[in-house]
A and B are shown apart, each in its own frame.
Chain A
Amino acid sequence: MPKLNVVKALNLALLQEMERDEDVLVMGEDVGVDGGVFRVTEDLHRKFGSKRVIDSPLAEAAIIGAGVGMALYGLRPVCEIQFSGFAFQCFHQIENHAARYRMRSQGRFSVPMVIRMPYGGGVRALEHHSESEEQFYAHIPGLKMVIPSGPRNARALLVSAIRDPDPVIFFEHKGLYHAAKEDVPDEIETMPIGRAQLVREGGDLTLIAYGAMLRLAREAAETLAEEDGVQADVIDLLTISPLDRETIVASVQKTGRAVVVHEAPRSFGPGAEIAASIMDGAFLSLEAPIARVASWDVPFPGFAREKANVPDLARVLAAARETLAF
């Protein structure tokens, strides 16, 4: 099995799905000749040509709107929005149309498209390049919202997203693109959308995270084991919506304590929905308030202040310890 980083793993998923199904095509700004500004679509243009790997004019709304049209016709477009911060320029196409055609046409039409976007901080650029906006998409009925945490699940989830009969918003954390390599099998793998993974088993505490924040949760769990003698469950959500409440609730019923970590601002973020799900399913098991470690409720404050804004290991650890001491 080759060791791939997230960029190469996503590229492999696109390549193999395009080889398998000629209805799959790629569209976006700079996805062709340039191979995407993060190189996720590298070489696809050379292999499949400009009819299947479309360097579109610079217009997010038309990329998604035309993608909806292609999907209505039966194609499976994989659209790239260059940074998630630019997707508000196509938000109406996503909310008004991609999410609704199945309902609007009472099942006659569907929109089997994937909308890929890099999200998250750590890139030392101006605003709209560093935000986390998963909560907006997770809130829209009709959409699925997926966020992988590493090369292998990124590849498998992208394959599943492409084959999914409904529109999938697929967030890729920029900090993970080159963060680590992992064995990714040559043969195509899929992963169920809507299922979280218990990636570490403990019993004293449940840490819930996704995307780049998963690494913090894992590191916090290791530190707690070493320094506090506490064993934590770590849940990698992988899909934000539909949320895998079952896995979360089963863990918290066991541990009685939960800490949710996300990069999006705290209020009305995924942490709130996760906390509500725990209240629904594990209320009588709770030993402490559910803690949320998240960015503050401020617009992106510039990367010079990013460290004080985005959760870090120290804040996750502090939250875990407060929860444990409650």
Chain B
Amino acid sequence: MPRTVLEPRFQVEHLSILDSDGNLDAALEPDLSAQDLTKLHRGMLLGRRLDERMIRLQRQGRIGTFAPIKGQEAAQVGAVSTLRPSDWMVPSFRETAAMLWRGWPIEKLLLLFAGYLEGGQPAPGQNDLPITIPVATQLPHAVGLAYAAQYRGDDAVVMAFCGDGATSEGDFHEALNFAGVWHVPVVFVVQNNQWAISVPLKKQTHSRTIAQKALAYGLPGLQVDGNDVLAVHVACREAVERARRGDGPTLIECVTYRLGVHTTADDPTKYRSVEEVEAWERKDPLTRFGVYLQKKNLLDEGLADAVDAEIAAAVERFEAFGAADALTMFEHAYAQRSPQLETQRAQLAAWLRDGTGANAPDTTVHPSPPMRGQRTTRR
């Protein structure tokens, strides 16, 4: 009764097509049209420029805390560009470029980060979930969506995003396990940006790659250069096609880097070196893709101005949105307000109108009999 090898040695692949200097592995180059390539570039640049604008808006107090994406544009745009509009996108909280690609208006994102839940409402028919904050908790939803799509006989694919830190959470592993067991059409895209706030990847996992975690759950895992939009696109296209033809889930690990702060409340100088950041700045996804486009004579010099104008117009629409109507907070707690919520809404309305009633006991709707020992100084 000897020990026998049950599994052959696993292999985890890494895919890179365009290196940080813009050199191309022509054999792996995807057959994207000029229009596709310029659209990818526009999506990445819009993400970058909006990110920079949002940091200024935050510093000016016009929006609240948010998580910048700088450095991760290729990982996001390369991935979502493989989806059909009818597919589903499940974001975490650092997917601005992916959300823009999926059709979220800029002013909605700004509204959300300015504390207006209106900004988190997907448009009718838009198959995107709103931002999820608690880390990794959105991943089981993606599996459920994929199960439901399969159940209904739809050919929709679900793409879910998370970061390297999320791969330590139970929900990540539970989602991968369910996806494997159910064999559902979901693609997990891990943006491995090396840092979960102050915790570096080597303190997050003892695995050499995140991609290999998929193998334990019986699904393919592939690592790609996440700053190479072509590699991300190729890897995700393969995974999306696999999911769509019924061959099950995939995990794609995009190796990238958070060039900026975790959120606008963070100070990265506490935990990482300037040299490290500079080394990754030399691997900027936009720079190398710019070189690639230039070689193809596809670089549009006026693009930055056009993108900035689009952002400026959206900022104006955002600022014209007006003050928040407090009473709308009662609109979406339930499909139908309970009598108790109806009362509370009326109390707040009275309070906002003339400063009365906000603290009246809930007995205003169903008056209770007078209490024993009650004073006669009743209003």
Contact = CB atoms under 8 A, between A and B. Distances in A.
A1 interface: no
Interface stretch (B196-204, B215-223, B280-288): B196-204
Interface of B is mostly: loop
A62 B115 CA distance: 31
B152 interface: no
Contact of A308 (B205, B326, B377): B326
Interface string B263-279: 10110001100000000
A296 B265 CA distance: 28
A71 B374 CA distance: 51
Interface stretch (B9-17, B129-137, B175-183, B299-307): B129-137
Contacts of B113: 126
A220 to B, nearest CB: 11
Nearest to B205: A57
A61 interface: yes
Contact of B131 (A85, A126, A287, A315): A126
A123 to B, nearest CB: 7
Interface stretch (B23-31, B290-298, B349-357): B349-357
B351 to A, nearest CB: 7
A252 to B, nearest CB: 13
Contacts of B203: 55, 57
Interface in A13-54: 29-30, 32-35, 37
Contacts of B375: 287-288, 326
B166 interface: yes
Contact of B204 (A57, A267, A298, A322): A57
Interface in B341-372: 341, 344, 348, 351-352, 355-356, 358-361, 363, 371-372
Contact of B198 (A30, A124, A125): A30
Interface string A117-134: 000000111111100000
Contact of A298 (B133, B169, B341): B341
A29 B195 CA distance: 12
A61 B170 contact: yes
B330 A296 contact: yes
Given A124-B64, A305-B324, A315-B359, A33 B270 contact: yes
Nearest to B63: A124
Contacts of A128: 133-134
A314 B355 contact: yes
Contacts of A198: none
A150 B224 CA distance: 50
Contacts of A61: 169-170
Contacts of B115: 124, 302-306
B332 to A, nearest CB: 8
Residue of B168, B358, B359 with most chain A CB atoms under a 10 A cut-off: B359
B117 interface: yes
Nearest to B135: A58
B355 A318 contact: yes
A78 B256 CA distance: 33
A308 B168 CA distance: 37
Interface in A273-326: 284-289, 291-293, 296-299, 301-309, 314-315, 318-319, 322, 325-326
B93 interface: yes
Contact of B351 (A57, A259, A306, A315): A315
B373 interface: yes
A303 to B, nearest CB: 3
A147 B133 CA distance: 25
Contacts of A58: 135, 165-166, 168-169, 196, 199, 204
Residue of B168, B333, B348, B355 with most chain A CB atoms under a 10 A cut-off: B168
Contacts, number: 160
Contact of B371 (A32, A127, A266, A286): A286
B344 A297 contact: yes
A297 B352 contact: no
A315 B271 contact: no
Contacts of A55: 198-199, 203
A315 B204 CA distance: 46
Interface in B316-347: 324, 326, 328-330, 333, 340-341, 344
A100 B266 CA distance: 37
A127 B133 contact: yes
B19 interface: no
B194 interface: no
Nearest to A126: B133
Nearest to A123: B65
A89 interface: yes
Contacts of B208: none
A59 interface: yes
Nearest to B112: A126
A109 interface: no
B165 to A, nearest CB: 4
A136 interface: no
A285 B375 CA distance: 11
A33 B266 CA distance: 13
Given A86-B135, A303-B64, A298 B333 contact: yes
B378 interface: yes
Contact of B373 (A34, A35, A284): A284
Nearest to B379: A325
B100 interface: no
Interface of A: 29-30, 32-35, 37, 55-62, 85-86, 88-89, 123-129, 259, 266-267, 284-289, 291-293, 296-299, 301-309, 314-315, 318-319, 322, 325-326
6 contacts: A34-B197, A55-B203, A85-B133, A127-B133, A301-B117, A326-B375
Given A29-B197, A297-B344, A308-B329, 18 more contacts: A30-B198, A34-B197, A37-B266, A57-B165, A57-B199, A61-B169, A89-B169, A127-B133, A128-B133, A129-B133, A288-B375, A289-B363, A296-B348, A297-B340, A302-B324, A309-B329, A315-B359, A318-B359
List the 9 closest A-B pairs by CB distance, nearest first.
A308-B326, A303-B115, A319-B359, A124-B64, A34-B198, A301-B329, A304-B115, A58-B165, A57-B168
